[in-house]
Structure 1
Amino acid sequence: MDVLYFAWVRERIGLPKERVETAAGTVAELVAELSAREERYAVAFSDLTALRVAVDQDLTDFDASIVGAREVAFFPPMTGG
């Protein structure tokens, strides 16, 4: 699946997008796998309350299933104005 990173998440990880092979069944499990890779991922995902996630372009929660998903995107909360 493709994993996309936006704004400061992208800056901390150093990539806008990557292809990931995972056995994770939920977003939270994917985050745990990514965080275990390297410190830059652990830093980016250290405070999940500061992140939002979308699975196949649908905003969802970290306990959402990613089984069969093609894309997971991580980004900070958006503000309007």
Structure 2
Amino acid sequence: MKILYFAWLRERLNRASDEVSPPDGVVTLDDLVTWLRGRDEALDLAMTNPAIFKLSIDARIAPGHTPIAGAREIAILPPMTGG
């Protein structure tokens, strides 16, 4: 599964994506975010308030309780800032 990072999150992590294989216990988007944060200190620090991020599965915005089975691509979208 490919994890995509956008905007300031991508810049903070210094990468645009990761390829991951979550364990069997990771079944929803919320589970995935928790698992990703637990294995990556930079991501954990960047996502101290995960509720402000939008998540998408295969290019469709989805709530955190959405199952990830069969997903090819998950995107993590931080809140937009303007100027």
- Which TM-score band applies after superposition, normalised by the shorter structure? 0.7 to 0.9
- Which 10-residue stretch deviates more, 37-46 or 70-79? 70-79
What is the CA deviation profile of residues 21-75 of structure 1, one whole-angstrom value per residue up to 9, with x for unaligned ones? 1121111111111111121010122112321111011111111110110000011
SS in 2 for 1:36: helix
Q: Which residue of 1 aligns with 2:40?
A: 38
Give matches, 1:20-39, under 5 Å. 20-23=20-23, 24-39=26-41
**Unmatched tracts of structure 2, length 5 or more:** none
Distance 2:46 2:65 in 1: 18
In structure 1, give the amino acid aligned to 2:45.
V
Q: How does 1:1-80 map to 2 (within 5 A)?
A: 1-23=1-23, 24-78=26-80
Is residue 31–residue 45 contact of structure 1 (8 Å, CA) maintained in 2? no
TM-score (structure 1 length as normaliser): 0.86
Aligned Cα root-mean-square deviation (Å): 1.5
The share of aligned pairs that are identical, in percent, is 35
What are structure 1's unaligned runs of at least 5 residues?
none
Preserved contact between residue 12 and residue 43 of structure 1 (Cα < 8 Å):
no
